[in-house]
Structures are given as C-alpha cells and as structure tokens.
Amino acid sequence: MWTHRHLLGVESLSAADIDAVLDRAETWHALCRRTEKKSTVLKGRTIINVFFEASTRTRTSFEAAGKRLGADVVNVSSSGSSVTKGETLLDTAKNLEAMRADALVVRHASSGAIDFLASRIRASIINAGDGAHEHPTQALLDAFTIRRSKGRLEGLVVAICGDIAHSRVARSNAILLGRKGAMVRLTAPRTMLPAHAETLGPTVRVMPRFEDAVRDADVVMMLRIQNERLAGAMMSTTREYSRTYGLGPVALAKAKPDAIVMHPGPINRGVELDPHVADGNKSVILDQVEAGVAVRMAVLDLLLTGGNHTPSDALSSRP
C-alpha cells in the first residue's frame, strides 16, 4: 500500500516503498520503449515543475514523465518568474497551488526548502533536489538501473566517489542503498567528506583511499565537484584531484570484472571521469537517464493515484 502524499527524500521511504517504486517503474520503462509512449493514468491532472536551479535531466524527465502519463505539465524557472521581483518561495508555491496544481516538482538551492513547502501546501510536493540534502528520484533511478543490471541490490558493493560533502545524490544513494542491504563505500579527499558520513546507514563505510574503495566493487558511482557550492576551494588543483580521485581505465581495473560505472550527470569529462570510461562498455550512464523517465512516472503515478490500478491496466489505458 502506498501512503505518501509527498516525496521529500528517501529518508522517509521504507524498503517496501522503494520496491513499490522500482516495480512500478518496470511497467513504465516498458511503455517508454514502445513507439506510442502514452497512458491516460494521470489524464486531467496538472503537474508544475518549479526549478530554482539549473537542470537538464531532472526537469526534462519529469516533464516527459507527466506527459507520458497523460497529465498537463507546466514549467516554471526562477529566471523567468516573479522570484526575480522579490516574491518568496512560499508565495510562489501558493500561487501555483491556487491554479489547482495537483503536484509541484521543486528544485531549490537551500537544503530543507522542499520540506518547508510540504508542511504548508496541499498539493503533492516532490523534491527534485534541495541543496546538499536529498535528490530522492536520482537515488531511485540509480537503484532501478543497478537492479536491472545486477538483478538485485542486496549484498552489492557500491563505491561512491567524489564531492560527497556537497552531494545530495550521494546522501540519498547512501541512505537508499543501505536500506536495501547494499554495502556502501564513500571516498573523497578529506575536505569533501561530511562529518559523521557513516551515520547515513549501517552499511556505509568511509574509505579515504580511492583505490581501496574501488577494489572489488560491483558498482562505481562517480560524482561531479559541486563548484556552485564552492567545492572548488576544497581541493588543491583540478589536475591533482583528477589524478587522485578521477576514474580512468587503470583505477577501474581494480573493480570487479563485471562492474558498472555510474554518474548522475552532468559529467565534467577529464576531471572525475576519463572520457574512455564515460563512453566505455561498463558505463550505464545513459541507462540511468532512460530510467529517470520511468522512475519519475512511477513516482507521479504512486503519489497521485496511490497506485490503485494494476500495471496491465496502466499499459492498456493508452488513448
């Protein structure tokens, strides 16, 4: 049974909730591979994407997800909105809600901004990334991609490498993967590791040496340095960072022979990831992007319908 009205973070999802999203996403993944990628499950509903930070993948895939489910989707960005005239986040959200939006998908630079809205707005609120706090749909699509590649999450060794301190992706992934029984290794220069990183879950370990974290890993997940959060000041030079914490073919050879390479995007090629690895046969980076649409369809479906229809209904309800 799906009981959540909002998706604020993976912190509030049980292992069963995570399975519900991933299982439902399988249905929508199949639909997305058809020529006619359309359902009427959310016909008549209105979803508004409100992005106060830049995005390519998340915003586009939420838009595609809503449209493929039959909803009306409207996009608002901070640069073209009345936020530039001094309107507050809450006033903006209340105005959009007054237009009878059923769901607001919100990205914001401040950690906690989405929780703040959810306690004051009746529409479903979906966190599309808030500061360094959470990016729940990224962790869900990453889990979906790993499960499709490896057949399971339980017992896998996942190395998450890079700017952990500023990464909402690392935080959400460490919580979700730990909850699903994967072993999570976090590696970064000390200045890019948050205090108490191991409190993110019982299976989370900090391993300062990059080679140790990657050794025999099933999954190597690389992260971008979040220069917009001033992370650049926390390393000596980009060249030194790349030499020590960048993933190239030599470092990747230490992982399991069938290891997969992931990255949430956008990639800084040649910094955290060698282009040969980014485009190599172990990379599932574009699979992650494909999964993003299906997983976001599953999230919208569950939040707005409670999942009260069978997957076969969902597929047969195309117009």
56 near ligand CP (CB under 6 A): yes
Among 70, 194, 248, 265, binds ligand CP (CB under 6 A): 265
Closest C-alpha to 314, from 1, 24, 11: 24
Shortest CB 155 distance to ligand CP, Å: 26
Shortest CB 137 distance to ligand CP, Å: 9
- Buried/exposed code over 135-167 (b: 16+ C-beta within 10 A; e: otherwise): bbbbbbbbbbbbbbbbeebeebbbbbbbbbbbb
Cα(242)–Cα(77) distance, integer angstroms: 33
In angstroms, the Cα distances linking 56 to 75, 146, 210, 298 are: 13, 22, 29, 20
Interface size with ligand CP, residues (CB under 6 A): 9
| Span from 39-47, 91-99, 262-270, 298-306 in contact with ligand CP (CB under 6 A) | 262-270
55 near ligand CP (CB under 6 A): yes
Q: Which is nearer to ligand CP, 63 or 102 (CB)?
A: 63
Interstrand relation of 183-187 and 157-161 (parallel, antiparallel or unpaired) = parallel
| Span from 91-99, 172-180, 193-201, 263-271 in contact with ligand CP (CB under 6 A) | 263-271
| Span from 11-19, 240-248, 260-268, 309-317 in contact with ligand CP (CB under 6 A) | 260-268
Q: In this structure, what are the phi and psi dihedrals at residue 226, rounded to the nearest 5 degrees?
A: -85, 80
Cα(317)–Cα(234) distance, integer angstroms: 52
Residues in 34-53 at the binding interface with ligand CP, rule: CB under 6 A: none
Cα(136)–Cα(219) distance, integer angstroms: 19
Q: Cα 210 to chain center, whole Å?
A: 23
Shortest CB 94 distance to ligand CP, Å: 25
127 near ligand CP (CB under 6 A): no
203 near ligand CP (CB under 6 A): no
Chain positions contacting ligand CP, by CB under 6 A: 55-58, 129, 138, 264-266
